[in-house]
Amino acid sequence: MCLISIQLRQHAVYKLVLVANRDEQYDRPALPAHFWSDHPDLLAGKDLSARGTWLGITKQGRIAAVTNSYLITTQESDQKLSRGNLVMDYLTGNIGPEGYLEQIRQQRTDYNGFNLLIGSSDSFHHYNNILDEISIIRTGNYAVSNATLDTPWPKVTLTKAAMAELASSSELDEEAIFRIMADRTPPSDDQLPDLPLPLPILRAVSANFIQTERYGTRSTTLILIDHCDQVTFVERSYLPDGTSSEVRFNFQLMAEEK
């Protein structure tokens, strides 16, 4: 039940504010965000099971992120391709969003359900392979969890409202953003998403920050890009015992080679 919030041109200082919670099994190994030795312009965490990533940015400003999509109740298949490759292939390639998504559409049944966000600080393309729909985001306040873009699940609507309130301030409070994403308050039972899960689990995974016995929020990543193309990248990783660690990167975007 991951959660991604995107604000484009909503703040006086930052043209992009992107924050995302990665929710995953605790025993799935991963590395925190770093610049990859085999792709030195790529800043992303690494899934050590499938060798892909869930979110990343390049020094040229290419950005991509993915969540699972549960719009249908069919069982996920272990025989499908890893959704982390969708992010990796875009970030390490040079095809634009339109061309890349046209390629992915031809292979959409090779993957379990996903929401893919690709783009830059200027605009994003969103694609859901179950609905086979592409949306273009150029300005505004958006969020996606595990249905599709802006599906009004409580965590989506509440996060959008909270982020919009922060955007009204001349100075953006990073800690306030992390507090929003760390909210463990579940919605009332009558607002829970219609998913085939036991009620205690459904309550737990419907909060922004998830903590169950084997599954939960593993990291929160914040990407800020100001109007001078200066990037601030902060990632907090969490362990089940409540401890956390943080990495921070600051860099200037470079022009993408043609």
Q: According to the model, what pLDDT value does residue 241 have?
A: 86
Task: Report the distance separating Cα 108 and Cα 94, nearest Å.
Answer: 20
Q: According to the model, what pLDDT value does residue 73 have?
A: 61
Start-to-end Cα distance in the chain: 37
Q: The whole model's pTM is what?
A: 0.95
DSSP 118-180: EE-SS-EEEEETTTTEEEEESSEEEEE-SSSTT---HHHHHHHHHHHHHHTSSS--HHHHHHH
Q: Return the beta strands (E) in 36-180 as ranges.
A: 42-47, 55-58, 63-68, 114-119, 124-128, 133-137, 140-144
Query: Mean pLDDT of all residues in the chain?
Result: 94
Task: Report the distance separating Cα 195 and Cα 33, nearest Å.
Answer: 31
Q: What average pLDDT score do residues 192-212 get?
A: 91
CB of 124 closer than 8 Å to CB of 118: yes
Q: Return the minimum-mean-pLDDT range out of 96-100, 191-195, 201-205.
A: 191-195
Q: According to the model, what pLDDT value does residue 46 have?
A: 97
Domain boundaries of the chain, sorted by first residue? 3-252
Task: Report the distance separating Cα 95 and Cα 153, nearest Å.
Answer: 33
CB of 167 closer than 8 Å to CB of 7: yes
Q: What is the pLDDT of residues 86-136, one digit of tens each?
A: 999 999 999 999 999 999 999 999 999 999 999 999 999 999 999 999 999
Coil, strand or helix at 93:
coil
Q: What is the pLDDT of residues 124-171, one digit of tens each?
A: 999 999 999 999 999 999 999 999 999 999 999 999 999 999 998 889
Long-range contacts of 202-207 (CB under 8 A, 24+ apart): 205/1, 205/23, 206/1, 206/153, 206/154, 206/155, 207/155, 207/183
Coil, strand or helix at 92:
coil
Give the closest residue to 58 by CA, choosing from 231, 218, 236: 231
- Find which of 6-15, 77-86, 193-202, 237-246 is predicted with most confidence, using mean pLDDT: 6-15
Q: According to the model, what pLDDT value does residue 251 have?
A: 98
The CATH code of the domain at 3-252 is 3.60.60.10
Task: Report the distance separating Cα 145 and Cα 23, nearest Å.
Answer: 10
Q: What is the pLDDT of residues 27-62, one digit of tens each?
A: 999 999 999 999 999 999 999 999 999 999 999 999
Contacts of 41 (CB under 8 A, 6+ apart): 35, 58, 59, 60
**With pLDDT > 70 as the criterion, what percentage of the chain qualifies?**
97
Task: Report the distance separating Cα 39 and Cα 147, nearest Å.
Answer: 31
Q: According to the model, what pLDDT value does residue 193 have?
A: 86
Task: Name the token pair of 119.
Answer: 């783009």
Q: According to the model, what pLDDT value does residue 75 have?
A: 64
Looking up tokens 């391709």, which residue turns up? 81
Q: Return the minimum-mean-pLDDT range out of 21-35, 190-204, 209-223.
A: 190-204
Q: According to the model, what pLDDT value does residue 186 have?
A: 92
Q: According to the model, what pLDDT value does residue 22 have?
A: 97
Q: What is the pLDDT of residues 221-251, one digit of tens each?
A: 999 999 999 999 999 999 988 899 999 999 9
